Chain A
């Protein structure tokens, strides 16, 4: 509490004005979700970039990019359960057809899940974590 007051004082002194310190904290799960969304967004954009370069310029960079993707996939497999890892990799590489149609992901219980956004993928991972706990 004291640190907050001291830091507020420093900022006010520098800006030459009163300020408000507004609490904008988030809980651990939303922080984790935010980080996850950031990482998957980058992963997806790198994958898309490789495909776009191939489609636009006919330059196939897959042999250059593949080791990077293998590292990413390796970490995903290392950090998640088999189905959860499959879902993440499916989300980035295979959820859309060339025409942009969304293909459902099928889990090991034969249940279909549609991932329109990373939020949907996150919801599935939360659901799947609960399913694993039941085993």
Chain B
């Protein structure tokens, strides 16, 4: 039987000895971009598939997946919009605003439907 092709989930191993190393990660713009981009892409995927949550990434050393509930999609998109505003990537901001609209419409649709 053919298996459905699921999207590949990003695997991020986060190993550290000192808490300062983890704090350095919070400062890293590249890490912010990586996580936000992955979150955006999983939100898009969740909308297409009409899912109630999005699996953003997998942390193998914890054997855990990072899961984002649909009610929090907008919050993440707001964070991403701020990030790209800071980067002065306004085209990306516009894209994200549209995606936010889609999320809101989908939430309203669900409320109406149920």
Q: Which residues of B contact A26 (CB under 8 A)?
A: 63
- Which of the four size classes fits the interface of chain B? 20 to 34
A71 within 8 A of B: no
CB of A60 to closest CB in B, whole Å: 32
B114 within 8 A of A: no
CB of B46 to closest CB in A, whole Å: 14
Q: Which residues of B contact A22 (CB under 8 A)?
A: 55, 64-67
Report whether B76 and A17 are in contact in the complex, using a CB–CB cutoff of 8 Å.
Answer: yes
* Cα–Cα distance between A90 and B14 once the two chains are bound (Å): 40
- Closest A residue, CB atoms, query B15: A3
Report whether A17 and B68 are in contact in the complex, using a CB–CB cutoff of 8 Å.
Answer: yes
Q: Which residues of B contact A21 (CB under 8 A)?
A: 59, 62, 64-67
Q: Which residues of B contact A55 (CB under 8 A)?
A: none
* Interchain Cβ contacts under 8 Å between A and B, 20 examples: A7-B59, A11-B35, A14-B32, A15-B56, A15-B79, A16-B75, A16-B76, A16-B78, A17-B72, A17-B79, A20-B53, A20-B67, A20-B68, A21-B64, A21-B66, A21-B67, A22-B66, A22-B67, A24-B63, A26-B63
Report whether A18 and B26 are in contact in the complex, using a CB–CB cutoff of 8 Å.
Answer: no
B39 within 8 A of A: yes
B69 within 8 A of A: yes
Interface residues of B in 76-94 (CB under 8 A from A): 76, 78-79
Chain A contact residues, majority secondary structure: mixed
CB of A58 to closest CB in B, whole Å: 32
Report whether A6 and B19 are in contact in the complex, using a CB–CB cutoff of 8 Å.
Answer: yes
Q: Which of A4, A10, A18, A20 lies in contact with B62, CB distance below 8 A?
A: A4
B10 within 8 A of A: no
Q: Which residues of B contact A11 (CB under 8 A)?
A: 35, 66
Q: Which of B19, B26, B55, B72 lies in contact with A14, CB distance below 8 A?
A: B26
A100 within 8 A of B: no
Report whether B78 and A19 are in contact in the complex, using a CB–CB cutoff of 8 Å.
Answer: no
